[in-house]
Amino acid sequence: MKFFIDTANLKDIQEAYDLGVLDGVTTNPSLMAKEGISGHDNVMAHYKAICDIVDGDISAEVIAVDYEGIIREGEMLAELHPNIVVKVPMIKDGVKAIKYFSEKGIKTNCTLIFSAGQALLAAKAGATYVSPFVGRLDDVGTDGMSLIEQIVQIYSNYGFQTQVLAASVRHVIHLLQCAEVGADVVTCPLNVITSLLNHPLTDSGLAKFLADHKKVNI
């Protein structure tokens, strides 16, 4: 399973990369705004800075919601770097644009997936990734993990090459459940990734080893 970090914060991206487990990055306009990145040139420069850190797929989201606008923005983003994946919303014109991009060899990430039917349409159109939102479904009383499992099964049934990128992954349990049901990718904040390091028995065991070592080396 691939680990992507869901942020536009360069420090967090660098830390995850230095850990040696980072495969890619997902971003969106909200994450850019959170870092105070605004204006077309600044946003483009920030995407380039992310690509300079991570040698992996970097999802960059279009703002347009009409077919021509999505194509225009997507082609511009794809020209920034070979690792850019054009992030497109799950809407009718978005699906049409994904088909266009797939025929042009431009990688895509269909975002805001909340049903298996949406994921099926995106895969039929040739999406490189689909992003079902686990946490947001949980927020409205729906089992987000069941959707991940369902999409994985459907793609397996028919041999779709589209990768299931589990998004809105908020804690370690989400991440491990995604691994159990076969998600290809999880994207999450840095703290979720680093939380995998932690266990109280590891801490207490290390403390005992160090204490015993100190005793025999007095």
Type of residue at 216: V
Whole-prediction pTM: 0.93
Contact 65, 41 (CB under 8 A): no
| Residue the block writes with tokens 């369902």 | 150
3-state helix, strand, coil in the chain (%, to 5): 55, 20, 30
**Nearest Cα to 185, choosing from 99, 126, 103, 111?**
111
Catalytic residues: 87
Residue 82 DSSP code: T
What is the reported pLDDT for 218? 65
Radius of gyration for the alpha carbons in the chain, expressed in angstroms and rounded: 19
What is the reported pLDDT for 29? 87
CA separation for the pair 67, 72 (Å, rounded)? 9
Residue 27 DSSP code: -
What is the reported pLDDT for 206? 87
CA separation for the pair 180, 182 (Å, rounded)? 6
Regions of the chain short of the pLDDT cut 50: none
What is the reported pLDDT for 19? 96
Contact 70, 92 (CB under 8 A): no
Do strands 2-6 and 57-61 pair parallel, antiparallel, or not at all (unpaired)?
Answer: unpaired
